[in-house]
Structure 1
Amino acid sequence: MFTLSDTRLSRGFTLTEILVVLVLLGLTFSALLLLLRRGVDASAGVTGYSENLVSEASLFWDLQRKVFGARKIKVEGNSLYMITTGGSLYPGVVKSAYLFRDGILLYYEFPYAYGALEEVEEDKLQEVGRFEEFSVSVLEGRRELTRYEGLPPYVKVRVNGREFLFETFALRTSAPSELRKP
């Protein structure tokens, strides 16, 4: 007669079989972990890039409002000073400034347009964001100037390789012909 002890079912797994199964499970889980880690790293990179785009877009809209409402502009290297009606913190005419120091763009706003444009209170500077590059120039006539005081037709701002051209409220009779609107 046929008994259970004669079949393979009564026999346990050998050590070799158990080790092979454990190695296969380990390889499977390590491959899954590698895929998961790559996905997390990729999403972190995309998140950082999108945060930079949000900072640049926010800066673009703020600058557009302030430059268009400007009554006086002063450009010195990487700094932009204005008397404008487009303030962020205070209503009415304000004195505002964008200063680029050590990769950090700082913003200053004072509720009254008194004193020299370049005078800022260091303790009231607010961080706008961290950028690799920030530079300001003015287009007047056919010249691009990095030092200027007055109300130019156009202000050009470069941020992280992107150029933004802002139109001021000034008359554009001296603007370069290729930039003049039809």
Structure 2
Amino acid sequence: MTTDPDAGGKPRDFMRVVDALLDSVAMICRVITGLSLVGLTVIFGWLVYGRYVLNATPTWVEQVALLLVMVIAFIGAAVGVHEHTHLAVTGFRTLAPPWLRTVFVVVTDLLMAGFGLLMLIYGARLTAFKWDSMIPLIHVPEGLRSLPLTIGGGLITVFALAHLLRLALGRDLRSDIIS
């Protein structure tokens, strides 16, 4: 959790509202990715049942599974950035003195925000480009495949910038990286 309920003052009140909003967005994302994972499990169960019991393989499962995997991967990655549970190599950071550790944190958050922004921009272009063609067998726009990339990129950008704002206000509670 990244909120500090005991902080006072206008910038801190603003961050309390921002943290509550971002925590809510992350919760919605967790629900969406969780439901996607359950859906993926159910449709693969149907695939196995259809193939081996009914002797009629449902052909739409692969296309729907690809969409669900995109949701799980990109939206889940954004939640990982928000909750600071994404994959990280911390060897240099933990060995560094506190002032250098903070520099590493800032650089990492800036890189994450930049990467998320690129995902947002190029994902949106790809989504718009592919929107008019249809995915075979399920007849939904092809742009849906890259929509999770776009949304995940936007969320990664916002979550990384929020980490930087918290750090600038002295409210970053990531105890493993800030001394």
Give yes or no for TM over 0.5: no
Larger radius of gyration between Structure 1 and Structure 2: 1
* Bigger helix fraction: 2
Q: What TM-score do you get using the length of structure 1 for normalisation?
A: 0.29
Higher strand share: 1
**Larger RCO: Structure 1 or Structure 2 (Cα < 8 Å, ≥ 6 residues apart)?**
2
